[in-house]
Amino acid sequence: MQQIMTMDRSLCLDNSMRMEFDARSENEGLARMAVAAFMTPLDPTVGELSDVKTAVSEAVTNAILHGYENCEGLVVLQCGLHGDVLCVEIIDEGVGIADIEQAMQPMFTSKPELNRSGMGFSFMEAFMDDVEVYSQPGLGTTVRMFKKCGTTPWVEAGE
Amino acid sequence: MVRRMELQDFQVIDQCLCVKLPEEIDHHHAEWICETTDRQIMQQKVTNVVFDFESTKFMDSSGVGMLIGRYRRISCFGGKVYCIHVDRQIKRMLYLSGVYRIIEIMD
């Protein structure tokens, strides 16, 4: 499990960053601001910056709310830059996901009573170029996301 | 310094509850907004809820959850949820999640 959970060093990253914070909802802002600051060398557009911030926010919220079920724990955030590609990993050692495919369905939520929309993974997939989820019940979850920055054209909101 | 949301951000005008949303809506902020909005809906007997996104620069799926939850509550009484001053990024999320079908987005 640990093997999957660490970023592939053979990728020869130009820059990398790792931070650890308590699984508390007030740290969601910290996580997305940290990634936004880390990716500035890529010279992202305002849209790309928002996309990444939203995706990071979703993954961190999942880790806190579902991974650790709002109890104590540590969330690890790892970022890497490789050319014009940003890689972000959000790792928790919480309850894990038994059925990843079901969890990634739009509108699926295991906690409908909590005002959740069930759109977390859908937003991650919509706003990032690639999303990988590794999870084992009882061991935790790693969400790895990639985004190529600086070249993606702005996508209009569909009417 | 990010301005905190206060009760002044909830105003009742003509049986409409107007909620001035904060700069960032994530799971951390959304919980408080949901609770306070629900309490105001019950106490003030409003028919519609208007969410004002004018100062909002960031939102994630918690904001969508917030809108769906308020829609469920207010639609029982025949009311509607309106969103005003929605920027492009947030509008994209409202369309992507399909929530635009149950709420009114006003420009």
What averages of pLDDT result for each successive group of 10 residues across chain A (159 residues)?
A: 46 85 94 95 91 95 93 94 92 94 89 83 93 94 92 55
What is the pLDDT at residue A153? Answer: 53
Is A144 a residue of the active site? Answer: no
Cα-based torsion angle of the residue sequence A25, A26, A31, A33 in order, rounded to the nearest 10 degrees: 140
Per the listing, tokens 């500035």 go with: A40
Average pLDDT on B89-103 reads 92
> Tell me: the pLDDT tens digits for B30-79?
989 999 999 998 888 899 999 999 999 999 999 999 999 999 989 988 89
Query: Which of chain A's residues have a Cβ under 8 Å away from the Cβ of B24?
Result: 29
Phi, psi of B25 (to 5 degrees): -115, 100
| Touching A: B residues 16-55, CB under 8 Å | 24, 26-28, 30-31, 34
DSSP for A101-131?
HHHTSTT--S-GGGT--S-HHHHHHHHSSEE
Q: Does domain A13-148 have CATH number 3.60.15.10?
A: no
DSSP for A28-46?
HHHHHHHHHHHTGGG---H
d(CA B26, CA B67): 13
Task: Enter the ipTM.
Answer: 0.86
| Segments forming the whole domain that contains residue B60 | 7-106
CATH number for B91: 3.30.750.24
What is the pLDDT at residue B90? Answer: 93
Is A58 a residue of the active site? Answer: yes
**Phi-psi group of B39: left, alpha or beta (phi > 0 → left; psi -120 to 50 → alpha; rest → beta):** alpha
Query: Which of chain B's residues have a Cβ under 8 Å away from the Cβ of A155?
Result: 92
Structural domain contains residue B1: no
- Mean residue pLDDT across chain A: 87
The tally of domains found in chain B comes to 1
